[in-house]
């Protein structure tokens, strides 16, 4: 014989939660928790963020970026600039290097008083790893074609730097490589090294 319970099931709730009896289930507790206000969210983010880099680090970053931009400027001029109608290989690197130098000078002049930059921490090594893998990609793409390096680079960035799942990393790596192949090799016939 089944006895009827005197407890009413809350509207929108389930019989399983009502039958749980004493205490509130974690799912309901999460639903009942009030959302944080914007001020509370800002305070929480401020507690979790890395320490500020400070003005000296901003100056060092500006000088390093300006040096890199200057090196790119000199190298691109050696490759030849051409004209907007007939660009040579150095034109776009030249423009990007000019933008980099301009932004570096702006940071040097106006960024010293800003505290938005983050100090170097253990997470900064992820940026170094990203740059190192990108340099490796550039070094091998001319020898092996772009397909395998693109596949590996995308996988490393997704799995180890982006903390994606193995399944998502593998699927997206193949999808990105296939998309690059279809766009640049098949559709646009860009003369880049490729295997197929």
- Residue 10 or 147, more confident: 147
What residues does each domain of the chain span?
Answer: 50-120, 122-196
Angle, in degrees to the nearest 10, between helices 147-156 and 166-180: 150
The pLDDT of residue 116: 66
What digits encode the pLDDT tens for the residues 11-23? Answer: 444 444 444 444 5
d(CA 122, CA 32): 37
pLDDT tens per residue, range 130-145 = 999 999 998 999 899 9
pTM (predicted TM-score): 0.53
pLDDT digits (tens, 9 = 90+) for 85-119: 888 888 889 999 999 999 999 988 887 666 567 77
Asked if pLDDT for residue 175 goes beyond 50, the answer is: yes
Give 3-state DSSP helix, strand, coil % of the chain, rounded to 5: 65, 0, 35
Distance CA 118, CA 116 (A): 6
């Amino acid at each position: 014989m089944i006895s009827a319970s005197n407890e009413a099931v809350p509207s929108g709730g389930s019989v399983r939660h009502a039958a749980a009896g004493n205490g509130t289930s974690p799912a309901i507790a999460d639903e009942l928790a009030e959302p944080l206000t914007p001020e509370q969210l800002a305070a929480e983010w401020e507690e979790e963020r890395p320490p500020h880099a400070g003005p000296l680090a901003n100056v060092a970053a500006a000088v390093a970026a300006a040096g890199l931009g200057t090196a790119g400027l000199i190298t691109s001029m050696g490759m030849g600039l051409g004209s907007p109608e007939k660009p040579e290989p150095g034109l776009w690197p030249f423009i990007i290097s000019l933008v980099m130098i301009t932004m570096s000078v702006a940071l040097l002049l106006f960024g010293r008083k800003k505290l938005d930059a983050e100090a170097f921490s253990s997470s900064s090594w992820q940026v170094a790893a990203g740059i190192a893998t990108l340099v490796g990609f550039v070094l091998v793409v001319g020898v092996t074609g772009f397909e395998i390096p693109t596949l590996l680079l995308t996988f490393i960035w997704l799995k180890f730097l982006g903390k994606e799942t193995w399944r998502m990393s593998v699927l997206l790596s193949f999808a990105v490589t296939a998309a690059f192949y279809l766009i640049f090799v098949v559709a646009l016939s860009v003369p880049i090294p490729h295997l197929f």
